[in-house]
A and B are shown apart, each in its own frame.
Chain A
Amino acid sequence: MSIGVQFYLTTILVYIGVDIIACLGLNLQFGVAGIINFAFIAFQAIGAYAAAALALGPPFPGDFQHYVGFGPLPFPLPILVAGVAGGVASLVVGVVCLRRLRSDYQAMVFLVVSLIATTVATNTSLVGGAAGLSTVPKPLYSGLGLTLVGYQWFFAALTGAFTLCVWLAVRRITNSPLGRALRAVRDNEDTAQAVGKNVQAMRLSAFVIGGVIAAISGAILVLFISAWAPSGWLYPETFVYFTAVIVGGSGNNLGAAAGAMLVPVLFLEGARFLPTLVNPTFIDGMQWVAIGALSLAFLWFRPAGIFPERARGPLTDKHGGQIERVRAMLVKAR
């Protein structure tokens, strides 16, 4: 395999991992708990900026970029602290936005939050302004002594490890009575309260956990690409993740992961290979049209997505009843 192909492949693998992590976070908020968080991308950005600032350390006198920096902290602390930053930011935003408002109004407020976040990042020197942050050092790059391609494979494996950890952590929620209670809150808030669920607290918990996961995805990405700027996380990017979750199957982790591979990676990356028949910016513009059309098509014709949320029984079986179901199928087949 040529070096170029290896570079391309490892880059795609990292993006798949980052997008799966992000979609798992959004699925927990939207698919499981029913929170329409149109500011999702802003929490990914918070994680990215936090990790970048902590990996860079404070700017030195005469530095070409202006930002508030701490550290530098050794790997993996920038990613972990970025997760905490995402959680704290989610807690603040969640406490303000999730109380008293109906979910459709919450969605509007989240959209406004996303716009405010972009405006603040662009117009202040908090995180490098419109130019953003660059030259973010790659974790363990000098210490490992790998070739450039070797490091690419190392980072892909690292992303895979983080993806697995997030997958297991989220699955532990969704396959537990906690996940069931969150789905109840999503389906009918009033009834959930009537059977003793503290709806506000449960929604806030899911929102904060989703925020932590979003921030981790941003942190991994910025350490890989070494740069982050406001133009890369404008509010339409949130809709790419929403489309991914809807297409894959909201409420189903497998669906979220499949959606992450199909929409942000295959669908958008695939457009790169289209022949340039007209103005090159046309394809970029059409990507957004295609994302909207894809989302609408699924909402109309297959609202449950490719992998619909599965019907569940009691959580007494270790694998959420899957073994029982396979056994029953085998008995039936015999």
Chain B
Amino acid sequence: MATPRHAGTTGGDAAAGLSQGSTILATDGLAKRFGGQTAVDHVNLEVTAGGITGVIGPNGAGKSTLLGLVAGALRPDSGTVRFLGDDVTRLPTYRRSRLGLVRTFQTSGEFARMTVIENLLVASPRQVGETWQGYLLGRRAWRRQEAEAAERARTILRRFSMADKEKELAGGLSGGQKRLLEVMRALMTEPAMLLLDEPMAGVNPSLARTVEDHLLELRDEGLTMMLVEHELGAVGRLCDRVLVMARGRVLAEGTMDQLQASHEVIDAYLVG
């Protein structure tokens, strides 16, 4: 079954034609040390297209470091990252993002002095107006593309019930609204896969449920996601498959129900 493209949100060219269930992301022996501390210890993982893969574990388990390695923010000491079949280990973050592997941030990553709609527009991919060629040719070279991007941004804003915030500065949004903005901005890049770093952190329970609902909708539309999250209830509701990390290693994997019955996992959480 082909991955459905969902309304105005996804579908990097590379993701087109990717079938559900095929491998979209794979790491092989991925390792990272900080000084004498091993943060990620030879992690092999495979993420299949079209679902939400959760990554859980106690503090210091290496979840965010793993996300950083996959997104390209950190350079691994050893191992490889393959995305859509290509080795992207040496690619910087912005090149991985252009391929469709896009991350969100645990702390607020908004462009604070820009309006909400600008935060979305800037993420629109392949903008002619951002190039020097576009600069020389002037407005007529990018006006149409800008209008299309604005329409898409407004569709996303309406979808997340944030249309009334369009003209507000992103720095003035509440914590919960900033979390939504993170997801909306990532969607604007037309991702093939989203890497979500604690999207519910610091969000009130009602808004957290809203974020969850949106993520489920996106999953149903075929977007692949990898979710690092502390709130196990949310992981249980959202994720088809969950990896448990402890001391930089993948300790266990399975559905949340399977993991909750695992003594190894319970020990890891209780003992740390």
Contact = CB atoms under 8 A, between A and B. Distances in A.
Interface in B97-133: 97-98, 102-105, 109-115, 117-119, 121-123, 125, 127-132
Interface string A203-231: 00100000000000000000000000000
Contacts, number: 126
Interface residues of B, number: 50
Given A184-B114, A187-B112, A195 B135 contact: no
A194 interface: yes
Nearest to B127: A177
B135 A190 contact: no
Max chain A C-beta neighbours (<10 A), residue from B113, B150, B166: B113
A178 B131 CA distance: 7
A177 B146 contact: yes
B111 A176 contact: no
Contact of B71 (A180, A194, A311): A194
A312 B138 CA distance: 19
Contacts of A315: 129, 139, 146
A197 B98 CA distance: 9
B58 to A, nearest CB: 25
B102 A195 contact: yes
Interface in B151-165: 153
A196 B127 CA distance: 11
Contacts of B122: 177, 180-181, 184, 192, 195, 197
Contact of B115 (A181, A195, A199, A313): A313
Nearest to A187: B111
A194 B113 contact: no
Contacts of A311: 115, 167-169
B42 interface: no
Contacts of B111: 183-184, 187-188, 191-192
A318 interface: yes
Interface in B136-193: 138-139, 142-143, 146-147, 149-150, 153, 166-169, 185-186, 188-189
B84 to A, nearest CB: 16
A124 to B, nearest CB: 35
Interface in A161-196: 172-173, 176-178, 180-181, 183-184, 186-188, 190-196
B60 interface: no
Contact of B103 (A172, A194, A251): A194
Contact of B98 (A180, A196, A316): A196
B123 A196 contact: yes
Interface in A298-334: 309, 311-316, 318
Contact of B142 (A176, A197, A251): A176
A135 interface: no
Contacts of B130: 176-178, 181, 197
A190 B110 CA distance: 10
Given A172-B135, A183-B118, 6 more contacts: A177-B130, A177-B134, A188-B112, A191-B105, A193-B92, A312-B114
30 contacts: A172-B135, A177-B121, A177-B130, A178-B129, A178-B135, A180-B114, A181-B122, A181-B130, A183-B113, A184-B122, A187-B113, A187-B114, A190-B105, A192-B111, A193-B93, A193-B97, A194-B71, A194-B93, A194-B104, A194-B105, A195-B102, A195-B185, A197-B122, A198-B94, A199-B94, A309-B113, A311-B115, A312-B114, A314-B150, A316-B146
